[in-house]
Chains A and B, each alone.
Chain A
């Protein structure tokens, strides 16, 4: 079974500082990897995704993530955090070879809450 671990439950950074949110996955085949952001009481917005190709992917709002197969990681980074980035971030893994009942299912990590100090 696939699983996703986000080791950091809560991270606090100062505005303008760099950010890295960790994500490790466990999956027996080729994964599809995603990062989503959720503001309080809201749904999820897709930041970026990795399906194949270049292991460094660029997303919206200045975020990027790097897929490292050897480390089973897909860490999210941003060089300079803005106050509006404060939210909860979820890493998710999908089945690249989905079929039948696992068609498109996503497994989410526990989430990392980001607090940004002025």
Chain B
């Protein structure tokens, strides 16, 4: 149980285009979802926290207009990288937690974004 999927697993796009990454909880209702970014050989950096039906809370230094997060249902959150640039190339990982178990996060397999 507690499986989280991400789609796509890899995406290559041209500079200036937008890319949407989906994060789904397959067998539980995710009241809270988190989006992380991981640069090569570095740790995970939290970008934002989203609660279902509410606006996402962004970490300091993360541009909310560039990284649009939508958490419209209890099983789906999306991250849209708008007007992507090569410096946005990274590994994006989502995680989800259940109501009443907010300190236990289940991680997706990640999405490798490459911006040409």
Pair A51/B44 contact, Cβ less than 8 Å: no
Nearest chain A CB to B1's CB is how many angstroms away? 13
Q: Give 27 CB contacts A-B under 8 Å.
A: A41-B91, A41-B110, A41-B112, A42-B110, A43-B4, A43-B107, A43-B109, A44-B93, A44-B107, A46-B104, A51-B103, A90-B44, A94-B103, A95-B103, A96-B103, A98-B102, A98-B103, A101-B49, A101-B57, A103-B102, A104-B32, A104-B34, A104-B49, A105-B34, A105-B49, A109-B43, A110-B43
CB-CB under 8 A from B4, the residues of chain A are 43
Number of interface residues of A (CB under 8 A): 25
Q: B89 on the interface (CB 8 Å rule)?
A: no
Within 8 A of B (CB), among A35-49: 36, 41-46, 49
Pair B46/A43 contact, Cβ less than 8 Å: no
Q: Using A42-B109, A110-B43 as known contacts, list a sample of 9 further A-B pairs with CB atoms less than 8 Å apart, ordered by residue number in A.
A: A51-B103, A94-B103, A95-B103, A98-B102, A104-B97, A104-B102, A104-B103, A106-B34, A109-B43
Q: A32 on the interface (CB 8 Å rule)?
A: yes
Number of interface residues of B (CB under 8 A): 25
Pair B103/A90 contact, Cβ less than 8 Å: no
Q: A74 on the interface (CB 8 Å rule)?
A: no
Nearest chain B CB to A44's CB is how many angstroms away? 4
